Amino acid sequence: MTLFQGLSAFPITPADEAGIVDITALSAILERIAIEGVDSVGLLGSTGTYVYLTQEQRRRAIVSSAEVLSGHVPLMVGVGALRTSDAVLLARDAEAAGANGLLLAPVSYIPLSQDEVYRHFATVAAATSLPLCIYNNPAATHFQFSDDLLSRLAQVPNISAAKMPSPAKADVPEELQRLRPLMPATFKVGYSWDRRAADAVACGGDAWYSGMGGVLPAPIMKLCRAAQAGDTADVDRMNTVFAPLWDLCTSLGTVRVIYAIANATGLFEGHPPLPISPLSQDDRKTVLKAVNLLSAV
């Protein structure tokens, strides 16, 4: 079982302007990811614009993805929602459709306490028999998990992994030494934020949760495998090749860059949900130049 380990590729969820998911485009994107031998797919993550889609559209995406991937690649599904009751319904939908794991972010509008997030996660985890990954993404959710909360959640049955924001390379060993003793031995600690995650895996992280892996699975897989092998010289070399793309993700926003790549590579003709806007023609050209450099990976 490679869920919560190695490379988890996060596809966009192609949809029209009204938010109706394009199942044909989604299936093509997933098949392209699966061919590269990724360790899992993370459907309906932040790159998959999960909070922008209705429950019905999320259900449609889950059902078709489970069909495409069934028996080939483990499928993890983001079930984050503002209401606990909605997250429970989404978790049950995912299990019924054949998902292999859940990803849950503490989505909030009114700021939540540590105890409120504990109860939210425990309730969702108890709603199905699927293993659940804690989606720790303060840049999007504005919620900060304390170490104590992560430790308490790691004791909850079904809560099996965490997706952490990658710290600076130098801080990864300290973070893992701090967190591992707080968790059961089987608990997996993986990382997101593509520009730093390969370093985090090379330093002992269990998984790389990658938005760019959903649209450029081949070069991202090479980088991930080097990181898993602990080949830091090759990781550094490849990250230098990726650097212009990472810089554009920082300056333009990762999701906008990923949609531009999906457009340019013929994966999907549409755009992210407005008000998130497609990149200008000039920015698209700059992105494509950065992508073309990746032939050297």
Helix (H) or strand (E) holding 164: strand 159-165
Amino acid 270 reads G
Closer to a second copy by CB, 109 or 282: give it: 109
Q: Binding segment for a second copy among 28-36, 104-112, 155-163, 221-229 (CB under 8 A)?
A: 104-112
Closer to a second copy by CB, 142 or 289: give it: 142
The yes or no reply on residue 247 touching a second copy (CB under 8 A) is no
Helix, strand, coil percentages in the chain from 3-state DSSP, rounded to 5: 50, 15, 35
Closer to a second copy by CB, 49 or 160: give it: 49
> Beta 6-9 vs 40-43: how paired, if at all?
parallel
Q: Which residues, in sequence order, are bridge partners of residue 222?
A: none
The yes or no reply on residue 85 touching a second copy (CB under 8 A) is yes
Secondary structure class of 126 (helix, strand, coil): coil
The yes or no reply on residue 17 touching a second copy (CB under 8 A) is yes
- The residue within the footprint of a second copy, chosen from 120, 163, 196, 284 (CB under 8 A), is 120
Q: Binding segment for a second copy among 90-98, 136-144, 158-166, 183-191 (CB under 8 A)?
A: 136-144
| Helix-helix angle 55-69:23-35, to 10 degrees | 40
The yes or no reply on residue 128 touching a second copy (CB under 8 A) is no
Give the list of residues 6+ apart from residue 51 with CB closer than 8 angstroms, or none: 80, 81, 107
Give the list of residues 6+ apart from residue 112 with CB closer than 8 angstroms, or none: 106, 120, 143
Chain positions contacting a second copy, by CB under 8 A: 17-19, 46, 49, 51-52, 82-86, 106-107, 109-113, 115-117, 119-120, 123, 139-140, 142, 253, 255, 272-277
